[in-house]
Amino acid sequence: MTTPFEAPQTFRLLKTDIAAKLSTRSEGGITYIVMADLGDWPDLHLAVTANEGGGLWSREAVALSTIEAIIDGFAAQPFPTKALKEATVGRSANNAPFLLAVLKDLGLAQSSPDKHHHYVKAGDWQSFRNELLLQDGPEITYPEVITGTSDEEEAEVSGNAADTASAPASDALTAAKPKRKKKPAKAESEPVDPDEEEGHDAAAQ
């Protein structure tokens, strides 16, 4: 299983978009990117780059194969949001719900019709991979290295959970930033799952 990239790595940027959050109590959306690593057998990686609301999250590039292995471990049964905590190194409470929100926006997961606050795999993941990996895209370094910081400050931004508002955007990321034409779709109106709550997670710092 591929581990999340905490240290800066070079990727090919393939897609930038905005996803609606899971919680009905959360406003705004989260900006995310889909990237491919530069290996001989590249995998896709997901990362959240901006959050319109409050709360921290880990600025990690998480391999799609890592996420799929976790979901497949439920043997086609519905899985809870917290299951995706295993996909990230960072400890922020927002990591799993943000990651799941991205999967839903990409059509790779959907709400379970049989169990509240649980989700099921959706779409054709292999076709999704193949289609995106055929696309061209600029090379970027992610997470971005922030100059003028101490080693401790840089580690926080590169690793376990920094508010991306404090990080500069590369030219490629800035150029690829999606232009909002409409607000993200509202989150589903169902009781709020504590695992989907958004907040300033002290444990993430």
Q: Is residue 47 part of a domain?
A: yes
**pTM of the entire predicted model:** 0.76
Look at residue 35 and tell me if it is in a domain.
yes
Contact status, residue 167 vs residue 149, Cβ threshold 8 Å? no
**What is the number of domains present in the chain?**
1
pLDDT-wise least confident of 43-47, 61-65, 164-168: 164-168
Angle (nearest 5°) at CA 113 between 110 and 117? 70
- Does 192 fall in a domain? no
**193 pLDDT higher than 60:** no
Instruction: For residue range 63-112, list pLDDT tens digits in order.
Output: 999 999 999 999 989 999 999 999 999 989 999 999 999 999 999 999 99
Where are the extended beta strands (E) located within the chain?
9-20, 29-37, 44-51, 62-63, 79-80, 109-111, 118-121, 139-142
CA 170 to chain centre: 18
How far apart are the C-alpha atoms of 3 and 168, rounded to whole Å?
25
The answer to the question of residue 172 being in a domain is no
Inside any domain, residue 167: no
Residue 3 in domain: no
Tell me the residue range of the domain where 49 lies. Answer: 9-142
Helix (H) or strand (E) holding 138: none
High-pLDDT (> 70) share of the chain, %: 68
Q: How confident is the model at residue 186 (pLDDT cuts 50, 70, 90)?
A: very low
Q: With beta carbons less than 8 A apart as the criterion, state whether 14 and 35 touch.
A: yes
pLDDT at site 55: 84
Report the percentage of the chain scoring pLDDT > 90: 59
Dist CA 50 CA 163 (whole Å): 8
Cα–Cα distance for residue pair 43/12, rounded to 1 Å: 11
Whether 171 maps to a domain, the answer reads no
Any residues with CB less than 8 A from the CB of 201 and at least 6 apart, and which?
A: 55, 56, 91, 92, 93, 94, 161
